[in-house]
Amino acid sequence: MKDKNAVLSDVIKGYRGVSYKPWQLKSTVDNDTAILLRSNNIKDGRLNFNDVQYVPKSIVDENQTLKKGDLVVCMSNGSKDLVGKNATFNLDSNFTFTIGAFCSVFKPKAGATIEYVRHLFSDNNYQKHIDLILAGSAINNLRNTQIEELKCYIPDYPIQQKIAKILSTIDGQIEKTEGIIAKYQAVKQGMLQDLFTRGIDVTTGELRPKYEDAPELYKNSPLGMIPKEWKVVRLYDTVTVLDSMRIPIKQEDRDFMQKVYPYYGASGIIDHVNDYLFDDELILLGEDGENVISRNLPLAFIVKGKIWVNNHAHVFKPNGELIIELLVEQLEKFNYSTYVSGSAQPKITQDHLKKISVFVPHKIEQNRIIDSISSTNKTIEDEQMVLDKLYKLKQGLMSDLLSGKVEVKI
């Protein structure tokens, strides 16, 4: 068995991507064309094939050509958070794929299990290594050698296979659970589309007829056609904004604190601290970051009890005109991209918030609307708890198995 002081260069070799001139880009793919992926094609540990570019095969070196099992890594980006992000190329295709110069491809060497190497690139040890390199640099750029010099545990091939199988089994369970959540979220979005345009007739307990079938039941509003009984008000007329009470705490200061109270950022809990700023039922709305556009995580969510909030989430206390569950659903469904598109760093400002309007049905109908989606919300919450447990299990296994801390026998 190899020792624990091996380095990634023992099992992989990195090659920087293709440099090209604008005039070399092609509009379509043919037999003389390579499909070029960039850092924007690496998302959530997977490759997506939207917004690709086409370049001549003649400018692509053999080592820059992607083969199944190769790892694509973002090496340079304006956002430090994206540098080091990676995904495995698993596509079976007759087309030639390559990567741009801001990325590198890392190819497994003989004696390395592709899946084991993939897990090394998703381990906390890898991310800490990247963070340490970037912390000492004013430029968000990595060299291949900086990744290759990462110290890691490289066992013999059969043990690599067994460790990879264990971790990949957990990955399969995670993917299945994510699929269930996505399914119910899609169901919920369909329900909300009807509920937020037609509402519920409290006399029948059913959705109102569509506008096309009963236009006399609707009126025009800043939000479009809505039931006549509803009114439209500004968001700021339904909440008290508590942003002035937020206080950010540096990571190095949090490291020395007792982990007692949740510390919230733009997309949820990011740490725990030894004190709290709020003790109430509130709504947090992510203020900035990539999630404002991508919406991969909840942007608006309810928090309860003793918490601390940093300056990356707006804090609202509802005044009672809208029940908190209906208000948070409206804020979560709202499309903020029209306000922040074109910004280098997406940010929902106070001026943006002042422009947002919400609909207000009668209280009985508000409760009926929320009751109608409560079971779907409960299913999503339950599956999210399962997913969180799976992620924790995987992190624990990775810590034990990829470090050699726990011996794996064949």
Map tokens 């037999």 to a residue: 31
**HSE-up of residue 93 (Cα within 13 Å, Cβ side):** 16
pTM over 0.85: no
CA separation for the pair 302, 135 (Å, rounded): 34
- List all residues 6 or more positions away from 404 whose beta carbon is below 8 Å from its beta carbon: 4, 153, 155
* DSSP secondary structure letters along 306-347: EEEE-TTEEEEEE-SSS-HHHHHHHHHHS-THHHHTT-SS-B
**Is CATH 1.10.287.1120 the classification given to domain 156-214+362-410?**
yes
Residue 221 and residue 298 in contact, taking contact as beta carbons nearer than 8 Å: no
pLDDT tens digits for 2-60? 556 799 999 999 999 999 999 999 988 888 999 999 999 998 889 999 889 999 999 99
pLDDT confidence of residue 289: 83
Question: How many angstroms from the chain centroid is the CA of residue 246?
Answer: 24
Residue 136 has pLDDT above 80, yes or no: no
In 163-238, DSSP assigns E strands to 200-201, 206-207, 218-219, 226-227, 231-234
How buried is 9 (Cβ within 10 angstroms: 0-12 exposed, 13-18 middle, 19+ buried)?
A: middle
Nearest by Cα to 269 from 134, 388, 399, 123: 388
Query: Candidates 3.90.220.20, 3.40.50.300, 2.40.128.50, 3.40.630.30; correct CATH number of 231-360?
Result: 3.90.220.20
Count of Cβ atoms closer than 10 Å to residue 378 Cβ: 11
Map tokens 């509402």 to a residue: 199
Stretch (H or E) spanning 351: helix 350-354
pLDDT confidence of residue 1: 44
Residue 310 and residue 247 in contact, taking contact as beta carbons nearer than 8 Å: yes
Indicate the pairing of strand 96-99 with strand 33-37.
parallel
Name the CA radius of gyration of the chain, rounded.
25
CATH topology of domain 6-154: Adenine-n6-DNA-methyltransferase TaqI; Chain A, domain 2 (3.90.220)
The CA-based diameter of the chain, rounded to the nearest angstrom, is 78
pLDDT confidence of residue 358: 97
H-only helix segments in 64-140: 114-120, 124-135
Q: Could you tell me how many residues make up the chain?
A: 410
Nearest by Cα to 10 from 118, 121, 162, 117: 117
Nearest by Cα to 84 from 33, 143, 17, 24: 143
Indicate where the chain has its CATH 3.90.220.20 domain(s): 6-154, 231-360
CA separation for the pair 340, 346 (Å, rounded): 5
Three-class DSSP category at 262: strand
pLDDT confidence of residue 344: 63
Residue 191 has pLDDT above 50, yes or no: yes
CA separation for the pair 156, 165 (Å, rounded): 14
What is the dihedral sign for C-alpha 122, 124, 129, 134? positive
Residue at 373: amino acid letter? I
Give the mean model confidence (pLDDT) for residues 387-401.
Answer: 96
Count of Cβ atoms closer than 10 Å to residue 240 Cβ: 11
How buried is 261 (Cβ within 10 angstroms: 0-12 exposed, 13-18 middle, 19+ buried)?
A: buried
Nearest by Cα to 240 from 311, 308, 319: 319
Indicate the pairing of strand 86-88 with strand 46-47.
unpaired
Give the mean model confidence (pLDDT) for residues 161-182.
Answer: 96
Kindly indicate the confidence band of residue 156, based on its pLDDT and cuts at 50, 70 and 90.
Answer: very high
pLDDT tens digits for 73-110? 999 998 888 899 999 999 888 899 999 999 999 999 98
pLDDT confidence of residue 332: 95
Q: What does DSSP assign to residue 278?
A: E
Mean pLDDT of the chain: 93
Indicate where the chain has its CATH 1.10.287.1120 domain(s): 156-214+362-410
Residue 34 and residue 78 in contact, taking contact as beta carbons nearer than 8 Å: no
Give the mean model confidence (pLDDT) for residues 309-315.
Answer: 96
Residue 346 has pLDDT above 80, yes or no: yes
Residue 114 and residue 70 in contact, taking contact as beta carbons nearer than 8 Å: no
φ, ψ of residue 225 in degrees (nearest 5): -75, 125
Q: Which of 2-16, 140-154, 173-187 is predicted least confidently?
A: 2-16
Residue 119 and residue 153 in contact, taking contact as beta carbons nearer than 8 Å: no
